[in-house]
Amino acid sequence: MRLSRESEYGLNAMIYLAQQPPATILPLNQIAEARDLPAGFLAKTFQKFARHGLVRSFRGRRRGYCLAREASEIRLRELLEAIEGPDLFQRCVFWGGRCGDSNPCLLHEGWREIKPQLTEFLEGMTLACLAQNENGGADAASL
C-alpha cells in the first residue's frame, strides 16, 4: 500500500481547510497557494472528495469548498480511500499489484496480520487530529 503524491497533496489541503473556522468556504486557488500546492492537481482531488461527501462545492459568487462534515467526523481512512480507491487496504505493502490473496508473496501472511491494525489506526485518526497535530497539539501516537 504505497500512497501517491495526490494523497499527500489532498491531505495537506484538507488539513488547511480543517484549520479554518467552521463552514468557511475557500476558493481552491487560495487553498493551493496557502499550502504551496498545484491548483490544477487539487481540482481533481477535490472532485473526488466531493463525490465521497467529504467536502461541499459551491458555484457562483461564493465559489469554493468547505468541509461537508465536522473535521472530527472525517476519518483518515475515508480521505485515503477517496483518493487511492476502495481497494487500498487490499494491496500488499511489499510488492503491490504482484501480490494478493490469490497470488501471495513471501511476506503476505505478515501483511495479513498487521493489516487490521493499520486499518484500525487510519479509522481512528480524524482530520481534526491531523489538523491539531500540525498546530503543535498532541502527537499522533497518543491519539
- pLDDT tens for 15-71 read 999 999 999 999 999 999 999 999 998 999 999 999 999 999 999 888 999 999 999
Q: pLDDT-derived band of residue 142, with 50, 70 and 90 as boundaries? A: very low
CA distance 76 to 25: 21
Judge contact between 74 and 67, C-beta under 8 A.
Answer: yes
CA distance 31 to 71: 16
The number of distinct structural domains making up the chain is 1
Q: pLDDT-derived band of residue 143, with 50, 70 and 90 as boundaries? A: very low
Cell of 97: 499489484
CA distance 13 to 121: 21
Residues spanned by the domain of 103? 5-142
CATH number of the structural domain spanning residue 138? 1.10.10.10
Cell of 45: 482531488
Give the CA angle between residues 110, 112, 114 to the nearest 5°: 70
